[in-house]
Structure 1
Amino acid sequence: MKPNLTIRPFEEHDYPAIAEVLKAAWPDEAHSVAGLREGDRHAPEIKWGRFVAEQDGQVVGVAHYTQFEGMYHPQKFAVWVTVHPRFRSQGIGKALYRQAMEALKPHDPISILSTTREDQPQAMAWLKKLGYVEKMRYWESRLDVRNFDLASWAGKIEAVEAAGFQLRSLKELEADPQHRQKLYDLWLEVRQDVPRPGELSEVRFEDYCKWIFESQYYLPEGHFVAVDPHTGQYAALSTLWKTDGDYLQTGLTGTRRAYRRKGLALALKLKAIQFAQTMGIREIRTGNESNNRAMLAINEALGFVKQPIWTDYVLALGEETSSPAEQELS
Structure 2
Amino acid sequence: MKSSTRTSVRPFGPSDYEAAIAVNRAAYPDYTEGLVEWRHWDETWEADKYFKTRLVAEDGGTVVGWAQLNHSPWAFVADKYRIDVTVLPDFRRRGHGSALHDQLVDVARARGARALQASAKESHADGIAFLARRGYHERKRDWESRLFVRGFDFARFAGADERVEKQGIRISTLAAERASDPDALRKAYELDTDCSRDVPSVDPHTDRPYEEWLKHAIEAPNALPDAWFIAIDRDGRYLGLSDLFSSLDDPTFLWQGLTGVRRDARGRGIAMALKLR
TM-score, normalised relative to structure 2 = 0.93
For 2:136 and 2:113, locate their aligned partners in 1 and report how far apart those are by CA, in whole Å: 14
Q: Over aligned residues, Cα RMSD in angstroms? A: 1.3
For 1:188 and 1:88, locate their aligned partners in 2 and report how far apart those are by CA, in whole Å: 40
- Secondary structure, in 3 states, of the residue corresponding to 1:221? strand
Q: How does 1:272-291 map to 2 (within 5 A)?
A: none
Equivalence for 1:251: 257
Deviation at 1:11, TM superposition (A): 0.6
Percent identity, aligned pairs only?
35
Equivalence for 1:98: 102
Deviation at 1:3, TM superposition (A): 5.6
For 2:41 and 2:140, locate their aligned partners in 1 and report how far apart those are by CA, in whole Å: 22
- Secondary structure, in 3 states, of the residue corresponding to 2:139? strand
User: Structure 1 or 2: larger strand share?
Assistant: 1
- Give, as a single letter, the amino acid of the residue that structure 2 aligns with 1:220: P
Deviation at 1:31, TM superposition (A): 2.7
- Give, as a single letter, the amino acid of the residue that structure 2 aligns with 1:110: R
Equivalence for 1:179: 184
Equivalence for 2:40: 38
Deviation at 1:106, TM superposition (A): 2.5
What is the count of residue pairs matched by the alignment?
Answer: 269
Q: Deviations over 1:157-190 (max 9, x none)?
A: 1221132101001111112111111111112221
Q: How does 1:170-209 map to 2 (within 5 A)?
A: 170-175=174-179, 176-209=181-214
Q: How does 1:65-104 map to 2 (within 5 A)?
A: 65-104=69-108
Q: Contact 1:49 / 1:66 at 8 angstroms: preserved in 2?
A: yes
For 2:194 and 2:80, locate their aligned partners in 1 and report how far apart those are by CA, in whole Å: 24
Equivalence for 1:291: none
For 2:63 and 2:82, locate their aligned partners in 1 and report how far apart those are by CA, in whole Å: 22
Deviation at 1:39, TM superposition (A): 2.2
Structure 1 position 126 matched with structure 2 position 120: no
Equivalence for 2:273: 267
For 1:53 and 1:94, locate their aligned partners in 2 and report how far apart those are by CA, in whole Å: 10
Q: Contact 1:3 / 1:56 at 8 angstroms: preserved in 2?
A: no
Equivalence for 2:25: 23
Q: Give 2:217's match in structure 1, choosing from 212, 235, 240.
A: 212
Q: Contact 1:7 / 1:54 at 8 angstroms: preserved in 2?
A: yes
For 2:7 and 2:136, locate their aligned partners in 1 and report how far apart those are by CA, in whole Å: 27
For 1:138 and 1:26, locate their aligned partners in 2 and report how far apart those are by CA, in whole Å: 16
- Give, as a single letter, the amino acid of the residue that structure 1 aligns with 2:229: F
For 2:133 and 2:99, locate their aligned partners in 1 and report how far apart those are by CA, in whole Å: 16
Structure 1 position 51 matched with structure 2 position 55: yes
Equivalence for 1:297: none
Q: Which one is further off, 126-135 or 234-243?
A: 126-135
- Give, as a single letter, the amino acid of the residue that structure 2 aligns with 1:36: W
TM-score, normalised relative to structure 1 = 0.79
Q: Give 1:149's match in structure 2, choosing from 150, 153, 162.
A: 153
Equivalence for 1:7: 9
Deviation at 1:235, TM superposition (A): 0.4
Q: Relative contact order, CA 8 A, sep 6+: which one is greater?
A: 1
Q: Which one is further off, 135-144 or 120-129?
A: 120-129
Structure 1 position 138 matched with structure 2 position 134: no
For 1:73 and 1:54, locate their aligned partners in 2 and report how far apart those are by CA, in whole Å: 32
- Secondary structure, in 3 states, of the residue corresponding to 1:21? helix
Q: Give 2:67's match in structure 1, choosing from 36, 58, 63.
A: 63
Deviation at 1:128, TM superposition (A): 1.5
Is there any run of 5+ residues in structure 2 with no aligned partner, and where?
none
- Give, as a single letter, the amino acid of the residue that structure 1 aligns with 2:197: Q
For 1:187 and 1:202, locate their aligned partners in 2 and report how far apart those are by CA, in whole Å: 10
